[in-house]
Amino acid sequence: MNGSAIERVFRAASGRITAALVARFRDLSLAEDAFSESCVRALSAWQETGVPDDPAAWLYRVASRVAVDMLRRQRTRRQFVPDPPPPDPTAEEVMIDDRHVIPDERLRLIFICCHPAVAPDARAALTLRLICGLTVSEISRAFLIDEATLAQRLVRAKRKIADAAVPFELPAPEYWSERLEAMLSTLEVAYSKAHEDAAGLTRHAGFAAEMLHLSTMLVDLMPDEGEAHALAALLHYAEARRPARTDARGMMVPLSLQDPALWHRELIAAADAFLVQAARLAPESARTLQAKLQACWCTRANLSEPAPWGCVRDVYDQLLRVRDDAIVRLNRVVAVAELDGADVALAELDTLDDKGLAQFGPYHAVRADLLARTGRADEARAEYQVVLALDPPPAERQWLIQRLGELSAKLQ
Amino acid sequence: MKYALLIYEDEAFYGPDKSGSKIEEIVGKHMAFAQELGARRLGGAGLKSTPSATTIRTSAGKKTVHDGPFAEAREQLGGFYLIEAADLDEAIAIAKKVPVLQDGAIEIRPLLQP
């Protein structure tokens, strides 16, 4: 096995091993350090003996011993005696398959990482670090933050979890739905943040794959939670459309103009399957409905087929019943414009309370488009200037500048 | 684990010397809440308004006495509980039940000696 194959083994094993160590030793940093140390030891040991049949079980056993040693050293340093850790695996345990050796505690660890008492900007990063085994440098690239800053945030988050005694248990039934929502929205926001800039395709490719993997893992760990299926569906649909989100020059391509031939059919099929379960388990959930919206689009086979605006508007109507806010209404207006005309849509848009929308670029972009389509070109240009001043992501900026250019050309 | 629950509210709401019907109402609620906490309540108290506060500042080893609280803020520390809880989730559940009559905040702080 070459170096990168071994790296893959480490990464694939990291979440399960770290989670099992956390559950056993109740210490995030200890678990993380012990796992890293077991990887270091594996690199030299495996060179001589070859890769063991069950590398994950090997790593887990070594990491457990390392953790026990680390605890002993800490104990002598601190002069006080914490609860003794559970015993080392027995000889029989060594013989059996790693699934039995390593208890699956990943869900517990994900809930710890995404606890609402952990700083919001550290939750997803901590999850990706501990569950997916991403390096700090990979995560910092996906979130566009400085590596040292991220490392600092992770240290602070781990210290907070220890100091404030965030429980190392699954949330009790009375906190379950609140905590589940906090966890799922953390991951959803982390994904969309990385997804926001359509131009960042290569930079986020590995990160996106890990997010898909994580969302699938959540479904496997909580097969009865409709919200988990809905999140997996949403992420898979979004990822499926990624190749069509920008053109060759890196300019944003609006959904209705994206070429379905470029979409990943396999990811769409996976998303469809998640959506079926989400619709069965959580039919009223806003997240399920958002996945349905994506499904409307993903049924389109090619650009000559009409865009599914009717389906889109219907789902927005359903969504309004569970979540009536300005953003949902704004999105619905886009469908209305296609179905009932720009005049009707503009009238509807102008009934929205725009206080919260004033700083929201997409609101001004929609308004600019509707003004242009109703022949109010000067006002449209002013709206485009407003969007551009709000500093949209690069791919969107390019598209907006092009629209503005077309508008000016028409005026002359 | 032991936690302090620090109650921050705009004290102006309770009047200049924290007396009158609003303070009676909130004190009544606190008494009922303390009863409900039982043995999980290790201590706690309501505090007089910040004009009664005196701050001793240490700067470069020199101690000076000042009138008023350490920092001027929109919300002031108005009281606290010391509680015993299994973990942060239990502390959060207790803190959510601390009675409040207006907007404000409850800060949960683990004690240095658990």
Domain of residue B7, residue span: 2-110
The whole-angstrom distance between B110's CA and the closest CA on chain A is: 6
- Pair A137, A146: CB distance under 8 Å: no
- Pair A49, A93: CB distance under 8 Å: no
Distance spanning both ends of chain A, measured CA to CA? 66
Nearest CA in chain A to B92: A117
Give yes or no for residue A384 having a pLDDT over 90: yes
Residues of B in contact with A118 (CB under 8 A): none
pLDDT band for position A378 (cuts 50, 70, 90): very high
Q: Is B38 on the interface with A (CB under 8 A)?
A: no
- Pair A230, A276: CB distance under 8 Å: no
Chain centroid to Cα A264, Å, comes to 18
Tokens 């929502």 belong to: A181
What pLDDT sits at residue A193?
72
Hey, which of A50-64, A130-144, A195-209 has the most confident mean pLDDT?
A50-64
pLDDT band for position A1 (cuts 50, 70, 90): low
Residues of B in contact with A115 (CB under 8 A): 88
Distance CA(A134)–CA(A8), nearest Å, equals: 11
Give yes or no for residue A375 having a pLDDT over 80: yes
* Chain segment A306-321, per-residue pLDDT in tens: 999 999 999 999 999 9
For residues A346-363, average pLDDT: 86
The whole-angstrom distance between A241's CA and the closest CA on chain B is: 39
Instruction: Specify the range with the lowest mean pLDDT, choosing from A154-158, A207-211, A251-255, A289-293.
Output: A207-211
What pLDDT sits at residue B113?
82
Q: Is B105 on the interface with A (CB under 8 A)?
A: no
How many structural domains are present in chain B? 1
- Pair B99, B30: CB distance under 8 Å: yes
The chain-wide mean pLDDT, for chain A, equals 88
* Chain segment A82-100, per-residue pLDDT in tens: 555 555 555 555 555 555 6
Distance CA(A313)–CA(A400), nearest Å, equals: 24
* Chain segment A187-224, per-residue pLDDT in tens: 888 887 766 655 555 555 567 888 898 999 999 999 99
Percent of chain A with pLDDT over 90: 62
Give yes or no for residue A139 having a pLDDT over 90: no
What pLDDT sits at residue A34?
96
Distance CA(A66)–CA(A60), nearest Å, equals: 10
Nearest CA in chain A to B90: A167
Give me the helices (H) in A50-135, please. 55-78, 91-95, 98-101, 106-113, 120-130
DSSP label at residue A374: T
Q: Looking at residue B51, which CATH number applies to its domain? A: 3.30.70.1060
Nearest CB among B89, B108, B114 relative to A167 is that of B89
* Chain segment A264-309, per-residue pLDDT in tens: 999 999 999 999 999 999 999 999 999 999 999 999 999 999 999 9
CB contact under 8 A, A166 and B89: yes
* Chain segment B4-46, per-residue pLDDT in tens: 999 999 999 998 888 889 999 999 999 999 999 999 999 999 9
Nearest CB among B1, B89, B108 relative to A175 is that of B89
Distance CA(A56)–CA(A17), nearest Å, equals: 8
* Chain segment B42-91, per-residue pLDDT in tens: 999 999 999 889 999 999 999 999 888 887 788 999 999 999 999 999 99
Q: Determine the residue among A118, A175, A179 to mutate to test chain B binding: the one whose Cβ has the most chain B Cβ atoms within 10 Å.
A: A175
